[in-house]
Amino acid sequence: MQVDLYGLTMQTPGVTFYLWSPWRCSAVEHRLFDAVRTLPGAEFEQAPDELQIHIEDARAWTQAVTNMARVLKGWQEEGTEAGIDKRSWRWLLEADTDANGYDSQNEKTCFWAFVRLSLDRGSPGEPEKGEDVDLNGFGVCIRGEE
């Protein structure tokens, strides 16, 4: 299947969404995971310390990206409407590989997508106070060919 993440197109056999240590995850991480869980064709899997959703359909991927963007835009608007802070978010992509196509855990190489939230607080006349928060409990694995 071919996946497109805001103009970055990749060929992959499938995508897996992870929610690690669900009891420690933030509400935003749970909302992101739940936005993907309801997709048609999504395979849900529960392990002792994590939840996973597997999809292998390009349409489901497109809908997943749309649903996650809605969740993140909703989170962004919550802060703006309350006048508390200015919020923004971005995707971070990460991968590592050796010469044989395996990562540091000796598994087949894949791209990982994570979300970073940014909070900018400050009043007129005060310096801006920025803070970045990485959502370490939620991740997306775009698998390589096996």
Please state, as a whole number, how many other Cβ atoms lie within 10 Å of the Cβ of residue 10: 16
**The token pair that represents 91 in the structure block:** 């995707």
R_g of the chain computed on alpha carbons: 17
d(CA 72, CA 146): 32
Given this model, what pLDDT does residue 108 score?
A: 86
Sign of the CA dihedral with 122 first, then 90, 59, and 18 last: negative
Confidence of residue 58 (pLDDT cuts 50, 70, 90): very high
In the block, tokens 């992959």 appear at 12
Given this model, what pLDDT does residue 124 score?
A: 66
Tell me how far CA of residue 21 lies from CA of 59, 99, 120, in angstroms.
Answer: 28, 32, 28
pLDDT tens string 61-107: 999 999 999 999 999 988 776 666 889 999 999 998 889 888 888 88
- Indicate the burial class of 35 (C-beta count within 10 angstroms; 0-12, 13-18, 19 or more): buried
In the block, tokens 């995707």 appear at 91
pTM of the model: 0.89
pLDDT tens string 16-36: 999 999 999 999 999 999 999
pLDDT tens string 115-146: 999 988 766 667 777 899 999 999 999 998 76
d(CA 95, CA 84): 35
